[in-house]
């Protein structure tokens, strides 16, 4: 078994496996209308992936977050190496990178697809597909408040 990490806003903490946000808005790896769950290999990477989208938010205006530890099967994952992906995957325009996983998005052969983080390319994000049979076997093994050190906001 492997553990992956997910940061969820406090107001959505009652549904940590919900994919509504990515279904509505899409993300780097999925277009709108296809929901997947974004997770990370380490809590620090999960935090960085959230904070990169909030550069203009004052520290005292940050929403409250929860950190979830999710247990997934080792047998149901595959990792894509950065060398196997086009360089445009690191761009902040998602239209091209959303097309790379079109087959997996349509018919997932594994639950978890490891992809390099665009924020920290040496780190892995794990995309979890709710249409895979193993999605129902994801187990929440820990949940706690995510404490964000105010020194990250020093100006």
What pLDDT score does 151 carry?
87
**pLDDT bracket for residue 86 (50, 70, 90):** confident
Q: Can you tell me the mean pLDDT for 15-40?
A: 95
Confirm whether 149 is domain-assigned. Answer: no
Confirm whether 125 is domain-assigned. Answer: yes
What pTM value is reported for the model? 0.92
Confirm whether 36 is domain-assigned. Answer: yes
Confirm whether 151 is domain-assigned. Answer: no
CA-CA distance, 131 to 42, in Å (whole number)?
24
Question: Considering its fold, how many domains does the chain have in total?
Answer: 1
Listed residue (143, 102, 122, 151) closest to 8, CA to CA: 143
Q: In what order do the strands lie in the sheet with 112-116?
A: 77-79, 112-116, 124-128, 37-40, 2-9, 65-72, 139-145
| Beta-carbon contacts of residue 95 (< 8 Å; ≥ 6 apart) | none
């Amino acid at each position: 078994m492997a553990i992956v990490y997910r940061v969820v806003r406090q107001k959505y903490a009652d549904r940590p496996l919900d994919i509504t946000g990515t279904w509505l808005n899409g993300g780097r790896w999925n277009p709108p209308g296809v929901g997947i769950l974004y997770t990370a290999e380490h809590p620090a990477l999960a935090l960085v992936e959230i904070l990169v989208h909030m550069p203009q938010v004052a520290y005292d205006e940050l929403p409250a977050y929860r950190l979830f530890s999710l247990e997934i099967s080792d047998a149901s994952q595959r990792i894509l190496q950065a060398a196997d992906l086009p360089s445009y995957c690191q761009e902040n325009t998602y239209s091209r990178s959303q097309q790379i996983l079109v087959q997996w998005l349509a018919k997932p052969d594994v639950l978890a697809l490891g992809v390099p983080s665009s924020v920290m390319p040496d780190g892995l994000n794990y995309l979890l597909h709710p249409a895979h049979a193993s999605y129902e076997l994801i187990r929440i093994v820990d949940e706690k408040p995510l404490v964000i050190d105010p020194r990250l906001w020093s100006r």
